[in-house]
Amino acid sequence: MLFPTRCPQCAREVRAEFAGSAVHDLTCPHCGARFCVLVRKHRFEVLFDLGTRALMDGYAREAVATFAAALERFFEFYVRAAVLERMAGGERDLTAALAALEGTWKHVAAQSERQLGMFALAYLLREGRPPDFLTPQALGSDFRNRVVHRGDLPRREEAEAYAARVFALIDRLLTELGEEGLAHAALAQEAEFAAHLARLPPDVTAVFEEHPGMFRARRFGGGIPGPASGKAVPNAGPSKAPPLPRNDAQAFARALAERGPALTDFLKVPRPKGTERP
């Protein structure tokens, strides 16, 4: 999926393809200037937004598969944020903490069930209570498996219900992480950006962007730590669990009404003439 950006040299629009690393090395097709766009947005956010676009465009099956991937990547995001937050209380600096985290995550990187187990343990250690929302019924696992693995074709209303379920769960867990937890994930991303910036040639301009999305996680509360920060903030301790919305569909519909149209316009790429849908 493409997103629009602007060349810092000639200010003309350039379309770029989302990269999993959030780092985009580009060459302007208009003036030839080289620049690097660093998007302060995490992979689960991009995936959920792409699922929203697919849902709004009428591709229910593609939307369900993308929402499912967004939830898996959010569980990874939570684990990383919680682990870095916990390690911040020691003497280990950010570089060492990230290296230890990467060395551990590689053991489960290709196994989604083990990743879910790591998330369950991270949630228990951070919040002091078991993640009772990880039941197959609460996660809509049977529906997801039928669509993703058995090729079922869901109706739009089924896809919307699944999207609402995923949205409500991620929104709740982001709230529980709070500014402190989110700051650690932001700091880790800024460290990746800083490492890439250090390798850029002097003639390449770096551009930082924040994109519209269905979640507010990209704002990280009061601010985003810069790449020069040395250590993450101290552990804030367990938080009180906010209840899931009484009606997940209403919460998702409200967020879609507030951010969906702007998101769709942002992600929309003009189609070649003759291929537009009526």
pLDDT digits (tens, 9 = 90+) for 113-124: 999 999 999 999
Q: What is the pTM of this model?
A: 0.80
Say how far apart CA 94 and CA 99 lie, in whole Å: 9
Share the mean pLDDT of the chain. 82
The set of long-range contacts for 24-33, using a CB threshold of 8 Å and a minimum separation of 24, is 25/204, 31/7, 33/7, 33/8, 33/9, 33/205
Spell out the domain ranges in the chain: 2-267
Under the banding of pLDDT at 50, 70 and 90, the label for residue 95 is confident
Under the banding of pLDDT at 50, 70 and 90, the label for residue 231 is very low
Say how far apart CA 64 and CA 159 lie, in whole Å: 6
Say how far apart CA 218 and CA 167 lie, in whole Å: 15
Under the banding of pLDDT at 50, 70 and 90, the label for residue 241 is very low
The reported pLDDT for the residue numbered 185 is: 87
